[in-house]
Amino acid sequence: MRRWAVGLCALALVGVSALGQEVLNIYTAFDVDQAQTYVEEFENAHPDIRVEFVRLSAGALLARLRAEHPRPGASLWLAGPSDTHIIAAAEGLLEPYTASLGWQYLPEWAKCPDGYWSGIYTGFIGFATNKDFLEEHGLEPPTSWYDLLEPEYEFKVSMAYPYTSGTGYTRLASLVFLLGEEEGLEFERKLAEHAVHHYTSSGSAPATEAGLGEVAVGIAFSHDIVARAVGLGYPVVMSFPKEGTGYEVGAISLIKNGPEPELAKVFYDWMMSAEAQTLYQEWYRVPLNPAAEVHPEAVTAAEVTLVDYDFVWAADNRDRLSDLWQELTGF
Amino acid sequence: MWGGKLRLPPTSDPGSLTMRERIGRTGGELRRLAHDRGLLLVLVVVVALVATFVVFPLFQVFRESIFPRGQFDATHFVRFFQGAPFLITPFFNSLILGGLVALTGTVVGFTFAFAIARANVPGSRVFRWIATLPMISPPFIMALAAILLLGNRGMITQVIHNVFGVRWSIYGLPGLVLTQTLAYFPVAFMALEGVLRAIDRSTEEAAFDLGASKLRTFVKVTLPLAAPGIGAALLLLFVISLGDFGNPIVIGGRFQVLTVQAYLAITGRYNMPLGATLAILLLVPTALVFIVQRYWLSRRSHVTVTGRPTPSTAHASGPLLRWVLFGVLCFLSGVILLFYGMVVYGAFTHLWGVNHALTMDNFRYVFSVGRRYFMNTVQLAAIATPIGGILGILIAFLVTRKRFPGRKTLDFLSMMNFAVPGIVVGIGYLLAFNAPPLRLTGTAAIILAVFVFQRMPVAIRDGAAMLQQVDAAIDESASDLGAGFMRTFGRIVLPLVAPAMFSGMAYMFATCVTSISAVVMVVSARWQLMTVALLNDVDNAQLSRAAAWGVVIIAVVLAAIFVLDVLVSRLLSRRGSHGR
């Protein structure tokens, strides 16, 4: 009889883990493998700190912070468009921090005046188009938002949900800034009705899906299109809408009441450094630290037409626009 | 995941007692309870657990859907009845999908069951093994395989396109019917196999003797006798399809269903009232089905076995039918193996769609970056399994062997999660355990609780079946000799059912490791699960790596089954040698 009891205990004890290292918990909107790049380098630079991270789309990340408030499960929020950080700051979910290394070099548009977040990269909404598809149909890559409504692309475009994904919301807000609120939402409705193959909850997935050929066009951030499709060898060509496109300032922020505030500041400072932002080269991101090296294939602001993107307005209207969007599109 | 059996255990015996008799009985039960402190203590603990982890979360879902932030607000229900597409469309889509999968899954399940139980096709052991494969793997493995094979650029799609110049899209309803049928038909198969075996062959033989043709016998005798089983399989598959989250989020395309919309509303935008409303919309048809099942189907039972089943000499099918069935089973099994094979192949490719060179990179990733997911899953499932197993037997023992007031209520409540879709359980946990007094979000405890209490109905049902093998006289004599409840249960009952419990645990472990729909709501920074990693990779369109996760998950489950199998046979052989 004792034997089965021992067996039971053995089964229950299969995993009892005990580790006594300093641990920093991070929520990140970077894709897992990309986050791993930075986390590994950081751990090399700070061998006494171990980093645990969870990857969530920016909208989902904000949702989680709201759900966990006032006892968040992480101390640092790494990446994701600044709109979501702005909302979190307004809701009292973040802790200001202006003592970081990067605070001096950041231009006004790339940081929160009250210090709740700092910009760490920029990126632009673009189209990832499958080359085989273009060849098969004798088409040129789309260069206008309106190209996506052409019959050739019917149900062949994927893009992210505006409410789960920072990329998705940047797209929606860009169209609103470009066409006005009513027209912009109407355009999204037309996309939903005529062009969309499916919506994704992750912002970078459409780039890869275009690469796989599951869709003809994926709408995503430029750095994701290069890192997730072109750079991997998928037959994808990147293009931008000539009318103008939206962009993000990817941000970093301290989570209020986070369990490891001091460790979080160490990571924060490190992420602002030229050394850390030079690592972006592997992922084609555009750094905001002027001393960091930029990958030659990374898309910079000089190469695209930008809409007049108001980050604060975008943040303030995120929930309202998302609701309207869902009512209109039914998705 | 769902068990193979169909009925909730009987929760009522004829209520023919008068009020006075009832009160008298309750009084007697109370007095007996006061004598056995151990029993009383255990009862209090069990009732508290069930109330906290089964009833309270569900109550919170109801509350959040109409009383968000403490004020009455049924906006979303109003919008539903006004026909807002983002509520109406997923509702009807889920119903349509459920209906179709119920049909296709039951047909496939019946075919398997009939061929194996009644037609004695050759190789039935192999077929049965293949049919149980989907039960021990994450259901959305099928959706992943469907994309690799039949997606817009899938392997088969490309071949068909090159040969016939045709393209199709697997996304949406067709893909969902296909993947859910393959993932869930085993449920129908397991149920119907039992039903078909239970039909006394002499009834069929009597029909033959009276000159009926084989077809006529099948239509007029076999089918009607199997009808309650078929009805139950239809309803169960309908409910399972409705509750499925993994396949629709992967391959749903433009076809929205309730589970996915509820998940997006909550994890994507923290719209708890909307998520809770969608959960209620999901719960209503599910609950209706179980009511139909309980009060209608269970009364139309045509079970014909009264004594030992008569060994059959003549089979219900001739050689022609047998070979036709054999062919059909070969085809279906081929499809299943092809799907799994595709996932294995995908797991070893560099980058799906571009570079199909073979590599171990994906597994290296799983065991380096993803090591934590792997460890957490194995740890948590290994801890939850014995807890759930013992708790299941304990509750089964209480409700089948002990008499106490509120027994039937406890029985019903502890079985309730059987009928509640996983995503609803997950939402309930998120709502119930995010604030004091029980703040569990972000801990391992909340995942363990989901594991234990979502699977408890199956554990109780298994426990009840095991206890039937134990003569009540044994534990009663222990009580008569003065052993308290704890002692009787710990020293007599548990050891007697231990081997059976270990076998049940293998299945329980498998369902923990492969589950997604409830736990996806409660994973955290510190505690992550492999199925969620798989989901994230599919979500990010990293198909090769997602496939590697799938392979690892299945390997873990098979390893656990193997280990427990060895353990059980050791246990039994020891016991055998003691007996001698």
Cβ contact, residue pair A67, B430, below 8 Å: yes
Task: Please tell me the least confidently modeled range out of A249-253, B153-157, B450-454.
Answer: B153-157
**Which CATH number applies to A124-247+306-329?**
3.40.190.10
ipTM summary value: 0.84
Q: Would you give the distance in Å from CA A320 to the centre of its chain?
A: 20
Q: Comparing C-alpha atoms, which of A126, A79, A83 is closest to residue A220? A: A126
At the top level of CATH, the class of A22-122+248-301 is alpha beta
Rounded to whole angstroms, how far apart are CA atoms A38 and B26?
66
| pLDDT given at position B48 | 94
> Which residues of chain A have a CB within 8 Å of the CB of B372?
52
B257: closest CA of chain A, how far (Å)? 10
B369 CB within 8 Å of a chain A CB: yes
| Longest CA span, chain A | 77
Residue B577 has pLDDT above 70, yes or no: no
Local structure of residue B7 (DSSP, 8 states): P
> Which residues of chain A have a CB within 8 Å of the CB of B171?
197-198
A122: closest CA of chain B, how far (Å)? 21
Q: What residue has token string 């193997």?
A: B562
Rounded to whole angstroms, how far apart are CA atoms B46 and B43?
5
A73: closest CA of chain B, how far (Å)? 6
Task: Please tell me the least confidently modeled range out of B29-33, B207-211, B555-559.
Answer: B29-33
Rounded to whole angstroms, how far apart are CA atoms A251 and A79?
5
The DSSP string of B357-389 is EE-SHHHHHHHTTTHHHHHHHHHHHHHHHHHHH
Tens-of-pLDDT digits for all 331 residues of chain A?
455 555 555 444 443 333 457 899 999 999 888 899 999 999 999 999 999 888 888 888 988 898 888 888 899 999 998 989 999 999 999 999 988 777 889 988 899 999 999 999 999 999 999 999 999 999 999 999 999 999 999 999 999 999 988 899 999 999 999 999 999 999 999 999 999 999 998 899 999 999 999 999 999 999 999 988 998 899 999 999 999 999 999 999 999 999 999 999 999 999 999 999 999 998 889 999 999 999 888 888 888 999 999 988 998 999 899 999 999 998 8
Cβ contact, residue pair A164, B498, below 8 Å: no
Per DSSP, helices labelled H in B51-140 are 56-66, 75-81, 85-113, 124-132
Cβ contact, residue pair A63, B270, below 8 Å: yes
The answer for B 382-441 residues in CB contact with A (under 8 A) is 382-383, 385-387, 430, 434, 439, 441
Rounded to whole angstroms, how far apart are CA atoms A288 and A303?
17
Rounded to whole angstroms, how far apart are CA atoms B418 and B453?
10
Local structure of residue A144 (DSSP, 8 states): S
On whether the CB atoms of residues B337 and B134 are closer than 8 A, the answer is no
* 3-state secondary structure (DSSP) of residue B476: helix
Residue B383 has pLDDT above 90, yes or no: yes
Please report, as a single letter, which amino acid is at residue A280: Y
B332 against B461, higher pLDDT: B332
Token pair recorded at residue B152: 């817009």
Contact partners, residue B496, CB within 8 Å, separation at least 6? B469, B470, B474
Task: Please tell me the least confidently modeled range out of B12-26, B105-119, B243-257.
Answer: B12-26
The size of chain A, in residues, is: 331
| pLDDT given at position A3 | 53
Q: Comparing C-alpha atoms, which of A210, A215, A238, A223 is closest to residue A167? A: A223
A52, A66, A215: residue with CB nearest B270: A66
Cβ contact, residue pair A233, B355, below 8 Å: yes
Q: To probe the interface with A, which of B69, B255, B264 has the most A CB atoms within 10 Å? A: B264
User: What does the mean pLDDT of chain B come to?
Assistant: 85
Strands A236-239, A196-200: pairing is: unpaired
A32, A54, A214: residue with CB nearest B369: A32
Rounded to whole angstroms, how far apart are CA atoms B173 and B191?
26
Cβ contact, residue pair A202, B266, below 8 Å: no
pLDDT tier, B493 (very low <50, low <70, confident <90, very high otherwise): confident
B311 against B193, higher pLDDT: B193
Q: What residue has token string 């030079």?
A: A278
> Which residues of chain A have a CB within 8 Å of the CB of B152?
213-215
Strands A286-287, A236-239: pairing is: unpaired
> Which residues of chain A have a CB within 8 Å of the CB of B502?
4, 7
Residue B211 has pLDDT above 50, yes or no: yes
> Which residues of chain A have a CB within 8 Å of the CB of B441?
67-68, 73
A1, A202, A211: residue with CB nearest B495: A1
> Which residues of chain A have a CB within 8 Å of the CB of B365?
33
Q: What pTM did the predictor assign? A: 0.86
Cβ contact, residue pair A66, B147, below 8 Å: no
pLDDT tier, B553 (very low <50, low <70, confident <90, very high otherwise): very high
Per DSSP, helices labelled H in B114-222 are 124-132, 141-150, 155-164, 173-198, 201-209, 214-217
On whether the CB atoms of residues A329 and A194 are closer than 8 A, the answer is no
Instruction: Please count the CA atoms within 13 angstroms of the CA of A203 that sit on its side-chain side.
Output: 36
| pLDDT given at position A272 | 94
| pLDDT given at position A35 | 92
Task: Name the percent of chain B lying above pLDDT 90.
Answer: 43
Rounded to whole angstroms, how far apart are CA atoms A261 and B134?
46
For residue A256, report the phi and psi dihedrals to the nearest 5 degrees: -65, 140
B525 CB within 8 Å of a chain A CB: yes
Rounded to whole angstroms, how far apart are CA atoms A174 and A91?
24
Cβ contact, residue pair B267, A198, below 8 Å: no
End-to-end C-alpha distance for chain B, whole angstroms = 41
Rounded to whole angstroms, how far apart are CA atoms B426 and B433?
11
A3: closest CA of chain B, how far (Å)? 8
Cβ contact, residue pair A211, B354, below 8 Å: yes
Cβ contact, residue pair A214, B369, below 8 Å: no
B396: closest CA of chain A, how far (Å)? 19
Rounded to whole angstroms, how far apart are CA atoms A37 and A275?
13
On whether the CB atoms of residues A78 and A35 are closer than 8 A, the answer is yes
| pLDDT given at position B471 | 81
| pLDDT given at position B297 | 62
A260: closest CA of chain B, how far (Å)? 14
B85, B268, B355: residue with CB nearest A201: B268
Task: Please tell me the least confidently modeled range out of B42-56, B209-223, B369-383.
Answer: B209-223
> Which residues of chain A have a CB within 8 Å of the CB of B540?
31-32, 202, 204-205, 208
Please report, as a single letter, which amino acid is at residue B40: L
Helices B85-113 and B173-198: crossing angle, nearest 10°? 40
pLDDT in tens, B331-352: 999 999 999 999 999 999 988 8
A74: closest CA of chain B, how far (Å)? 7
The CA-atom distances, in angstroms, between A19 and each of A22, A50, B365 are 9, 10, 22
Residue of chain B with shortest Cα separation from A15: B379
Rounded to whole angstroms, how far apart are CA atoms B137 and B553?
7
B254, B353, B498: residue with CB nearest A198: B254
Q: Comparing C-alpha atoms, which of B448, B318, B317 is closest to residue B381? A: B448
On whether the CB atoms of residues B539 and B561 are closer than 8 A, the answer is no
The answer for B 277-336 residues in CB contact with A (under 8 A) is none
Cβ contact, residue pair A33, B369, below 8 Å: yes
Per DSSP, helices labelled H in B296-370 are 319-347, 361-367
Rounded to whole angstroms, how far apart are CA atoms B440 and B165?
55
| pLDDT given at position A2 | 52
- Indicate where chain A has its CATH 3.40.190.10 domain(s): 22-122+248-301, 124-247+306-329
Rounded to whole angstroms, how far apart are CA atoms A203 and A224?
9
B578 against B139, higher pLDDT: B139
pLDDT in tens, B503-541: 788 888 998 999 998 999 888 777 889 999 999 899 888
Q: What residue has token string 């449920």?
A: B187
Rounded to whole angstroms, how far apart are CA atoms A216 and A225?
13
Q: What residue has token string 């597409």?
A: B85
What structural domains does chain B harbor?
30-67+354-580 (1.10.3720.10), 76-137+181-247+254-305+318-332 (1.10.3720.10)
| pLDDT given at position B316 | 53
Residue B258 has pLDDT above 50, yes or no: yes
Rounded to whole angstroms, how far apart are CA atoms B436 and B146?
44
Radius of gyration in angstroms for the set of CA atoms belonging to chain B, rounded to a whole number:
25
The DSSP string of A258-308 is -S-HHHHHHHHHHHHSHHHHHGGGGGT-EESSTTS---TTS--GGGS-B--
Tell me the mean pLDDT in the region B161-168.
84
| pLDDT given at position A14 | 42
A14, A62, A331: residue with CB nearest B379: A14
B186 against B480, higher pLDDT: B186
The CA-atom distances, in angstroms, between B378 and each of B276, B383, B519 are 30, 8, 14
A200: closest CA of chain B, how far (Å)? 7
Cβ-Cβ pairs closer than 8 A, A with B, add up to 160
A263 against B372, higher pLDDT: A263
| pLDDT given at position B310 | 47
Residue B388 has pLDDT above 50, yes or no: yes
